[in-house]
Structure formats: structure tokens, C-alpha cells
Amino acid sequence: MENYDAIVIGAGHAGCEAALALARTGNKTLLLTISLDAVSFLACNPSIGGTAKGQLVSEIDALGGEMGIIADKTALQIRILNRGKGPAVQSLRAQADKNAYHTEMKKVLENEKNLFLRQGEVVGIEVENDNKIVTTSVGLKYSAKALVLATGVYLESEIIIGKTREKTGPNGFKNSHGLSESLKKLGIELVRFKTGTPVRLHSRSVDYSKMEIQKGDDDISTFSYMTEKPIENKAVCYLTYTTPKTHEIIRNNLDKAPAISGEIVGIGPRYCPSIETKIVRFADKERHQLFLEPESASTEELYLQGFSTSMPAEIQKDMVKSVIGLENAEIMRDAYAIEYDCIVPTQLNPTLELKTIKGMFFAGQINGTSGYEEAGAQGIIAGINANLYLKGQEQLVLKRSDAYIGVLIDDIVTKGTNEPYRMMTSRAEYRLLLRQDNADIRLTEIGRRVGLVSDERYKKYQEKLEKMQKIEQKLEKKAKIDEKLIIFFEKHNENPPKESLKFRDILKRVNIDIFDIEKEYKIFDESDYNLLEKVNIKIKYEGYLKQQEEDIEKMLANERLTISEDFDYKNITGLRKEAIEKLEQIKPLTIAQASRISGVSPADISILSILVKKSSKKGK
């Protein structure tokens, strides 16, 4: 039996980040995967980022993770979403090269000195005191004190296409058989979720002339704060629509659709419905938009976004051909639905450690989430905490006010989820503070503290802070009241001032931004668009940011009130029965977390906070 400090099961987006975090903090780490060809595989759409997800990628990056760097490196096209709707909701979205993404991540793993990447399917886990022993399908055994499970959608997974059911993982990879049973034996509760993916088409068979082209942005940002050179747009996407005929074909064949006929028992995500679900639920909608996205520069395959289905393959052919521009389309891979086992995430602490077994962590889709970014975010936290566990140090919990990662983990471990959980900006109550542009300022120090932020990254970060300070200092200077200033104001439809004023105050005017000032006055030595933009947002939104900071302050007071793990809820008089049941089940770590559990009222919290205080005093 081989011994490691830590073992990570699964080399998807969660597993890779977890393994890298563990190895980079000095742990001898084994990363086991069912197939080395499935490492960091973009099994569904060939894209990284998007609303809220872009923020997650930049947060992973600021903590010292890998996803942002590789997304930048392998991007085929990059765009900023929500331009003009406010800085809080602007997010990057990149078309990623699926093959390159896999290859690049695999290279990084292979070149990490403490990391051992190995093909092998885990079929059983045993816990002996502190040790976790895993057994693979070929009978090999490995042991480690820390274990991270990041099995993605592979647990007892089944692919469904019409009447055809196959016990495989995504994209025809082998599935994981036996591990689910082993988890149940450890007392872990599982549920069954479902998701799906659309067809892949051959590029030569598409009539692009009937579609609308979608290009990348010209002034391009990046996910990673380490990426030096801007990303080049190397590919375009196309927008097209379903037709009445598409809808007719689907309606006529609903009896053959497993998602509709009830053959699929797994719970699918509301935000990622199959095309047949869309047509049933939104019957009035005359057409649905579809995007054609390139899968990779090294293939002709195209991903048809918006056309996820589990219809029989024969019908899929007709459906595709009814779409504008796809009249002669060649399908290269069929669309499918996939069902899989995942755990009920309320069994985890906000550290992603299982409440009942110390040293056993869970990350990614096994926790009932969906998305590469959500997986990567949990992966890095599980990796960080597995390392802290091994070192006997206090584990890291990002708060809801620190990061989207904090919101994500708090949501799933506190409220659970009854569908694959997707990050949305509307889930973050402190959205104005959790921006993509300031992820590094929010999290680099934390990443440094847990040992993941390299000297190089840290130096870059400090330099950036200095530059921002310089920009802010320049804004403290006054602009003299003269004709130039008055014309400048008038040009931007602002009432001219009566006396000289600080540039900072000029910047507060609604119609003037930092770039206007730079253009007219050239006061900054800085030409970096991103840096200027950061300062611009910071000052223009000062008042609102302050409001959110005050809200956070209130929340943090309750966040500091910790509840001991063995707190006895049962014998409390004064708490309502429903509240007791919920609290028993979730076992919140703080009063703030308790207050977010649905079914726990403000009065319950009032009482609980007194009792918690009381019991902590008795304990002393």
C-alpha cells in the first residue's frame, strides 16, 4: 500500500484545483482519475466564465488557483457581459479551446513536483482512525490522512438518449461503479441529479450565411492577474434560432422524450432545461435562440448551445435540421442527458469537510453544484482546507462578504440544494463589493496566508496596489478654475464649478469618468486601463459601497458568535420545533449561518444567540 499525505479522487475542475493546492503547500498528493484523457475535460460547453462565473474564476485566480491562467491561455474568444449595467455585474466570458484546456492543465499537473497523477478508478473507501484507505478497481490500495472527493458526475452515472440507457460517464468515458455504495456505508446520504448536453456538429455542414455572427471584444480583459499579454480573438460564434418546425417535431415526439415522460428520475437544473422542456414550459415562445460555439482550434466540432436534449438519436437528426442554417447539418456526437449520484451538501461544514469524518473533504459536482467554475472554486477551498487540516491549523471559511466562493459554499452547506446549483449574481447580497475587477484585492492576502500565492504573484499584486494608491493621490490634486475646466465640464453636460476643486470631486460627477479626466488633464502616469477603471469604480460607487460595508458589519457581528459543534438544541425551551429540527440537521457554526437557514425565524435567532452565549459561559 502506498502512503500519501493527501489523495484527491477525480481530476476534473474541482479535483485539479484541490490537488494543486495540496501539492503546492508541500503535501505529497495523489490525484486519481478514471481516465487520464478526461483530465480537466470541458464535458459540456466549451466556455469558461459568464455572469457570476467570471467572478468565481478571478477569485480562484486571486487565491493562487490555476483555472484563470489556463482559461486565458486557451481562450478562443473573450467578451465582457453586461457592459453598461454597472461594474458589479460585469463578467468575462471566454470561449475556451476544449482540447488545449485539457492538455494545458494536464501539463501543469505533471510538472508539479509533489503531485502524482495516476489513472485508476476508486471503488471503495475505508476509514481507519485518521487514515483513509482507498481501493481501486484493479485492487491497488492507497492511504492518506486527508481525502478530497471530486468525482463530478461520474458516480453510478447513466447516459440517456431516448430509450437508450448506458451506464457510462460523460462523453462515453467509463463511469464510477461501487464508490456510491461505499459512501453510503460511511453514512453519507446521496441524491440523484441530472444534467445534459447538446449535439456537436461538423463545421463544414453549417450555413453561416443565415446566422448572425458574434465576435469577441476588442479591448480584452483577462481572468488571471498573472496573464500579461492580452488575449487574441481567434474564433467567432454564431447565433441562430429554432423554427416552428422544430417545435412541431418536438411536440409530436414528446412521448419519446425521457425528460417529459418521467423516465428520468434525477432532478435537473431549472437554468439548463432541455429544448423539449423549454417548448413544453414556454409554449407561447415562437422561437428559441441557439449559439454555435467552436469546440477547439484543433477540431471542426461545434457545440450547439441551447439545444440540450435526451430525445432519441433519430429524432435529434430531424430536430437539428429544422434549425435555421442547419438544414444540412452533420451530427458528430449525439445530445444526451446524464443522471448521477451526489451527496446532500448540508452534510458538510463550510470548510467542505464532512461533519462526521474529519479529514474527508468534498468538492465540485458531487456536492450538487453544476459548472466548471463552481467546481474549481470548491476544489481550491477543499485543497486549502485539507492542507490546513494536515498541518493542524484552523481551516479557511470565506464569508459571503469576501467572495462569490463564500456565497456558493455557504448556500449549499446551509440551505442545501434541490437541483444542480449554479452561481448567479443575484445570490450575492454584497454584489457591489464582489466584483471581478477587485477579486485580487479581496483575496490575494488570503491566498498568500494559506501558502498558495507565489512570491511572483504577490509582488505583482503589491505593485498594483502601489500604482492604485498613486492614482488616488493624483486625484487629491486640485484642478484650477479656468476656462479649460469650465469648458471641460460643459462638454460633459455638467454644471461648471465656481472654484478650483479636487480631481476626486470632479470624478464624482455623474457624466465624467476617470478616462475623461486623463484625456483632458493627463494627470496620471498610468496608462493601464484596468487600474484606472478600478479606481474609477472605487470612487464613483463610494457611497453605495459604504452602504454595503455597513450591512456587512452588521452581519459580521453574528458571524463572530460561534456555536459549538456539540451544542444541544433538543432541550431548548423557547425555540420552535421546526427551528430545532432544522438546526439539528444543519448544525450551523455561527449565529449568522443559523439565521440563513430557512425555517429559522428572527425570534429563534434572538433566543439562540442568548443560549449560545450562556452555554459558552458555562463551559468556561
Radius of gyration of the chain (CA): 26
The least distance separating other proteins from the CB of residue 392, rounded to whole angstroms, comes to 31
Residue 270 lies near other proteins (rule: CB under 8 A): yes
Q: Which are the contacts of 342, defined by CB distance < 8 A and separation ≥ 6?
A: 155, 190, 191, 192, 193, 365, 366, 367, 368
Please identify, using beta-carbon distances, which residue of 91 and 387 lies nearer to other proteins.
91
Among 245, 549, 557, 584, indicate the residue that binds other proteins (CB under 8 A): 557
Residue 372: alpha-carbon gap to chain centroid: 6
Residue 302 lies near other proteins (rule: CB under 8 A): no
x/- map, 139-178, other proteins, by CB under 8 A: ----------------------------------------
Distances (CA, A) of 377 to 50, 53, 67, 321, 506: 15, 10, 9, 38, 39
Please identify, using beta-carbon distances, which residue of 427 and 460 lies nearer to other proteins.
427
The least distance separating other proteins from the CB of residue 96, rounded to whole angstroms, comes to 14
Q: Specify the stretch interacting with other proteins by CB under 8 A; choose among 221-229, 300-308, 314-322, 446-454.
A: 300-308
Residue 251 lies near other proteins (rule: CB under 8 A): no
Nearest to 18 by CA among 3, 26, 28, 8: 8
What backbone phi and psi angles, to 5 degrees, belong to 191? Answer: -130, 170
Residue 486 lies near other proteins (rule: CB under 8 A): no
Among 118, 192, 415, 508, indicate the residue that binds other proteins (CB under 8 A): 415
Among 87, 345, 368, 376, indicate the residue that binds other proteins (CB under 8 A): 87
Residue 429 lies near other proteins (rule: CB under 8 A): yes
Edge-to-edge order in the sheet of strand 47-49: 47-49, 91-96, 75-81
Parallel, antiparallel, or unpaired for β 29-33 and 2-9? parallel
Cell numbers that stand for 463 in this block: 505593485
Among 215, 554, 568, 584, indicate the residue that binds other proteins (CB under 8 A): 554
d(CA 159, CA 175): 10
List the interface residues with other proteins, window 527-546 (CB under 8 A): 541, 544
Residue 22 lies near other proteins (rule: CB under 8 A): no
d(CA 337, CA 312): 11
Please identify, using beta-carbon distances, which residue of 131 and 214 lies nearer to other proteins.
214
List the interface residues with other proteins, window 598-617 (CB under 8 A): 598, 601, 603, 606-607, 609-611, 613-614, 617
d(CA 543, CA 538): 10
Among 107, 281, 358, 459, indicate the residue that binds other proteins (CB under 8 A): 281
**3-state secondary structure string across 551-567:** HHHHHHHHHCCECCCCC
Please identify, using beta-carbon distances, which residue of 134 and 605 lies nearer to other proteins.
605
Let me know the angle formed at the C-alpha of 119 by 114 and 121, rounded to the nearest 5 degrees.
Answer: 120
Instruction: Name the DSSP letter for residue 150.
Output: -
Residues that bind other proteins (CB under 8 A): 44-45, 51-52, 81-82, 84-89, 198, 269-273, 278, 281-282, 285, 288-289, 291, 305-306, 308, 415, 424-427, 429, 431-432, 510-511, 541, 544, 547-548, 554, 557, 574, 598, 601, 603, 606-607, 609-611, 613-614, 617-618
